[in-house]
Amino acid sequence: MADDQVLEPTDEIEVAPERVLPDHPVLRVIAEKVEAVEWKLSSGQDVFVVPKEAVREVAQAARDAGFEMLSDLTVVDYYKQRSPRFELVINLLSQQHAVRVRIISPVPVDDVEVPSVVSVYPGANFYEREAFDLFGLVFDGHPDLTRILMPDDWEGHPLRKDYGVGSIPVQFKGAHQVK
């Protein structure tokens, strides 16, 4: 643009919104290290929202920053309420820094493959198997992604909200006979 050129009021300059970073210095290091991290507060708790492809990278950055413990990994099914349908939720704890962080990653129903964090947090092994077994998320790079609660020949994923609920009559010893 020439020095003497003046922008008309109808001309717009696109300004990227400023990325919000956490106040806590340890969380700020993680957010600065991984560009894909979006930080927010939810009910007073620090939350990183990341694309599913960046889950392992964020977990590794958290581990490097001093988050020693994965305290939970689960899935939320927002069937007919939100898109994408699933959210992978990982809760991490740093005892040395006395801080917690929740990692949330949206997962669409038509692409349920997510990077495994077992190589970063070995304790995630059984949590990921449970999420696979009950919700159908597939953890890429998991050392033994097999069912953990349901029989191997079970069809479907029972904690999905669209999973059909059935009933099997059970006869208890000493109870009156059901006819």
Write out residues in the chain with pLDDT < 70, as ranges: 1-17, 167-172, 174-179
pLDDT of 84: 97
Distance CA 146, CA 148 (A): 6
Would you put residue 67 in left (φ > 0), alpha (ψ -120 to 50) or beta?
A: beta
Single-letter code of the amino acid located at 63: R
Distance CA 162, CA 144 (A): 26
The sign of the CA dihedral 63, 65, 69, 74 is: negative
pLDDT of 12: 62
Distance CA 87, CA 76 (A): 5
pLDDT of 165: 77
CB 73 within 8 A of CB 124: yes
